[in-house]
Structure 1
């Protein structure tokens, strides 16, 4: 066993003495050492209960003959970090999480790992670490929050809360209306209740084969989540016995399965940042444009918030991720020969799985749309691509042309929106918010929520080299590459330039002639970095925008 390096032989007597200082017994040190990576903290609602999940995982490991050893992973709450400098630190934590977990696991020579993440960057960060370390590993997330309920009985969630601020600014609701959302949008522990980034990545972890059934959908407050955690702890010992490792499971076919599931569920556009980064750690390069090929043949089967008015707890009752995959499998859209952490193939896992609510998970022959939830657009404004959650775009905005309203930061754009300076037909352009330019590639949930709250989401488009939350709806197009700080065409847009968006044909064009663009490019000077010292400054120098959102070279 790998842990023999720290527990066996006379030469390791000093190592064992330190384990004894921790209270471990000789009998415990004779068993496999299983690292349990706990993302518990007291600042993230999706993580506030992970101490209980971690204890359940430990119980499962012990029941199956292992010795669990807990160590931590950091986590940022994107909602609390939103709207200020803190959001610049969110995406970069993904790499910090991967790096620190790798360091801890190798320094202490664990035989296997159980990852206990939940919110936005912990899941991809720990998946990246799992791929690097390639020791038997299983994931058990903290699960989604329950949906909220307003005083008038309407169900609600965090994205509605952000939009309520815009509605207040537009005079559509008063302060008591905002407070109603404030007190009721987030009623429990867990990752926020719509198909946002955290829940998207937890569901896609099932799609990749690294988690047991229910990982993405069993609500955080349910006791079934504790039972799942115990089973994950037990199953990691079986993975160790079989020597079944993450890279045996996360094959190229598994990533394409995850992309297919992504399209069917209508996941967050952030998955287009995270899946390629995880695949990169496995030695697999995912072509961003290939996502369109998958989208064209994959029907969108779910309209969870913000695309619709259903929530993660509803998806769980309908049969969860496996029920969605069972529908996809009816048309042969998945490679079911892939291995999973159950110790079985995906085909074996899906035997007998039923869709328990055809209203929530549309049958494969009656989808919401014949194409998937995400589209990658290319054109003169984004030669290397940009991403839109097309399942959350109103029909009338699928094709749009309008004048650019240009802003060099999120704050400038929000001020203009709330002052009524953005009108029907406009295309809001927010730039210098990419990985280098931000630095940190902030999420643009505040401006899109402001547009929706002001009632303009079916009339105004938004384009940015930043990124969008899974909570975003409307014609919100992000991840524009090359970003402005790299001299991409988005840096050359001027006020009033016409921009054409054609989502069905995957095109985005800046309607300015080449001679004019060449003149602007010759005059362009990159602005001074917004943050010049500390981790973000170092990160901005290392990060490769072309690697799709912060894969460190």
Structure 2
């Protein structure tokens, strides 16, 4: 390797004297105890996101140690550095607000610091997409490593794991079936190990997406956080990063139109989180690739649901690992995938799948001709209420609610929802459609996972467990129900959702992929004229940047200035 461009000599600080810059850098590297021999090796960055506010990441110290072991064994110099850590349940208003900030942190630290390749260690929901977005923009050889899912644990004759079971018991508590004393006991039993949610929530879905794209080592998406294989995966990632430093394969060579389509196919087959549509759109957008929601429907109609995991099935991520992992899923849809896509191993996807053991546990991963559902778990809806699209996780919804017209029960904001949803005076029936406005990306709420509107208390006590719910918000990947999300354009920018009023009729047709507000255009024009002007931007800070620059859900909610100029001549997958 030439010291002109690699290792510690890469991207020298500019003092106007290049030789002095390298001399000074080596001086301070000496202060860290590195020998001159180590300073001449390829540098592998380890971007890690530990935090006391992120218990999902509490196994990071041993994973970082294993990555370093792999780097050293392969002849590299490992240098770890901290990044923003997004702990899903610990951020206000929502972790989604800070995903783009994390992506900036990753991009800038990868390019500003001297590294020939980087291993990115993150898991909890928004960390993986933020890291992949930053890596795509930096285009330095990169490997995504996740901490792995937590283990479900036995409790009173069943296994529990965050967070689908969290929502199941909370629904029973709201319905009066579980006592306050019992819900407090359950609270301490739902998440008992390190790792991300134990089900096919957003964190697990994004781990699967990273592997399907080719940005993670094969077989690493589903390894439990506390399994020894997870440590071995970290070591292997460090070793492979050195090989990438010597023979670079860049994210732009891996994240392509074809690999993004592969990731969408996998997303549909695993019945993954609705959030993944936004995140994959943002990742692909960094490389000028447009994810079409209409194309999503085409793929969904020909991609069956094969994975029997909560929230749409009965098993957990640990069971998927034992059943053959993501490779077992991809082999079943192999004829639908672009097998010539390059992965970070240097192999094509086809070569990777050919080399793996054919064994699979059919109770967890079904055969292509014996699916859980013959069509994909996610679809897009279009119509007068969602001109640019909305998302429904039909695999987690009640088919009895798929073709119907309902009366809108409208909540103007999250505060309005909190104030009235459990009021005994709320005028609501099980056949109504609950509608939440002003919870989208530019609403000031940060697009929270509030689309899973609670069933009104008086209906919950009657045993009602699902209703049609519509919003411009998101929903946790661990949630379930007939929930229409990401309505675009959102209410805060004057989209049709802003015009909905109590008592309006709304038509939902999953069969026709339609979501329509049944109000005549003349009346809608009158309502438009009455809309309040947009709120003024905050004076300063990240709030101003977020509200000023965030794109709509169908464009991935990325910052407009972070996408390449060639998006004007974009490619579609």
TM-based fold match above 0.5: yes
Task: Report the counterpart of residue 336 of structure 1 in structure 2.
Answer: 339
Deviation at 1:453, TM superposition (A): 6.4
Q: Could you tell me whether the CA contact under 8 Å between 1:298 and 1:370 is conserved in 2?
A: yes
Q: CA, structure 1 residues 399+312, in 2 after alignment: closer, same or farther (shift >3 Å)?
A: same
Q: 2:542 aligns with which of 528, 535, 538?
A: 535
Q: Could you tell me whether the CA contact under 8 Å between 2:209 and 2:267 is conserved in 1?
A: yes
* CA distance in 2 between partners of 1:456 and 1:480 (Å): 28
Paired residue secondary structure (1:541): helix
| TM-superposition CA deviations, 1:192-234 (whole Å, max 9, x none) | 1111111100011000001112321000011110001000100
Q: Could you tell me whether the CA contact under 8 Å between 2:507 and 2:518 is conserved in 1?
A: yes
Give yes or no for the alignment of 1:17 onto 2:27: yes
Deviation at 1:153, TM superposition (A): 3.0
Q: CA, structure 1 residues 527+165, in 2 after alignment: closer, same or farther (shift >3 Å)?
A: farther
Give yes or no for the alignment of 1:444 onto 2:450: yes
Deviation at 1:43, TM superposition (A): 1.8
Task: Report the counterpart of residue 283 of structure 1 in structure 2.
Answer: 288
Q: Could you tell me whether the CA contact under 8 Å between 2:209 and 2:263 is conserved in 1?
A: yes
Q: Tell me the C-alpha RMSD between the 2 structures.
A: 2.1
* CA distance in 2 between partners of 1:235 and 1:269 (Å): 31
Deviation at 1:169, TM superposition (A): 2.8
TM, length-normalised to structure 2: 0.91
Deviation at 1:150, TM superposition (A): 2.5
Q: Larger deviation: 279-288 or 160-169? A: 160-169
Q: CA, structure 1 residues 178+368, in 2 after alignment: closer, same or farther (shift >3 Å)?
A: same
Task: Report the counterpart of residue 564 of structure 2 in structure 1.
Answer: none
| TM-superposition CA deviations, 1:350-398 (whole Å, max 9, x none) | 1144252112111000111221011010001000001111110122122
Q: Runs of at least 4 residues of structure 1 off by over 4 A?
A: 6-11, 448-459, 529-533
Q: CA, structure 1 residues 371+532, in 2 after alignment: closer, same or farther (shift >3 Å)?
A: farther
| TM-superposition CA deviations, 1:413-451 (whole Å, max 9, x none) | 244333353431121111111111134111116634778
Q: CA, structure 1 residues 409+313, in 2 after alignment: closer, same or farther (shift >3 Å)?
A: same
* CA distance in 2 between partners of 1:432 and 1:107 (Å): 38
| TM-superposition CA deviations, 1:463-508 (whole Å, max 9, x none) | 1111111012111111100000110000000001111111232111
* CA distance in 2 between partners of 1:263 and 1:433 (Å): 26
Give yes or no for the alignment of 1:462 onto 2:469: yes
Q: Larger deviation: 337-346 or 142-151? A: 142-151
Q: CA, structure 1 residues 399+533, in 2 after alignment: closer, same or farther (shift >3 Å)?
A: farther
* CA distance in 2 between partners of 1:454 and 1:19 (Å): 65
Deviation at 1:346, TM superposition (A): 0.7
Q: Could you tell me whether the CA contact under 8 Å between 1:6 and 1:15 is conserved in 2?
A: no
* CA distance in 1 between partners of 2:20 and 2:298 (Å): 58
Q: Larger deviation: 180-189 or 413-422? A: 413-422
Deviation at 1:316, TM superposition (A): 0.7
Q: CA, structure 1 residues 6+424, in 2 after alignment: closer, same or farther (shift >3 Å)?
A: closer
Matches within 5 A, 1:11-90: 11-81=21-91, 86-88=92-94, 90=95
Task: Report the counterpart of residue 428 of structure 1 in structure 2.
Answer: 434
Deviation at 1:529, TM superposition (A): 6.1
Task: Report the counterpart of residue 248 of structure 2 in structure 1.
Answer: 243
TM, length-normalised to structure 1: 0.94
Q: Could you tell me whether the CA contact under 8 Å between 1:143 and 1:218 is conserved in 2?
A: yes
Task: Report the counterpart of residue 298 of structure 2 in structure 1.
Answer: 293
Q: Could you tell me whether the CA contact under 8 Å between 1:435 and 1:549 is conserved in 2?
A: no
Give yes or no for the alignment of 1:357 onto 2:361: yes
* CA distance in 1 between partners of 2:456 and 2:55 (Å): 24
Q: Larger deviation: 149-158 or 336-345? A: 149-158
Deviation at 1:288, TM superposition (A): 2.2
Deviation at 1:175, TM superposition (A): 1.4
Task: Report the counterpart of residue 186 of structure 1 in structure 2.
Answer: 191
Q: 2:386 aligns with which of 373, 382, 403?
A: 382
Gapped runs of 5+ residues in structure 2?
A: 13-17, 561-573
| TM-superposition CA deviations, 1:101-152 (whole Å, max 9, x none) | 1221222121110011111111011101111111111111100011233224
Q: CA, structure 1 residues 229+439, in 2 after alignment: closer, same or farther (shift >3 Å)?
A: same
* CA distance in 2 between partners of 1:291 and 1:477 (Å): 16
Q: CA, structure 1 residues 411+296, in 2 after alignment: closer, same or farther (shift >3 Å)?
A: same
Task: Report the counterpart of residue 215 of structure 2 in structure 1.
Answer: 210
Give yes or no for the alignment of 1:396 onto 2:400: yes
Deviation at 1:532, TM superposition (A): 6.5
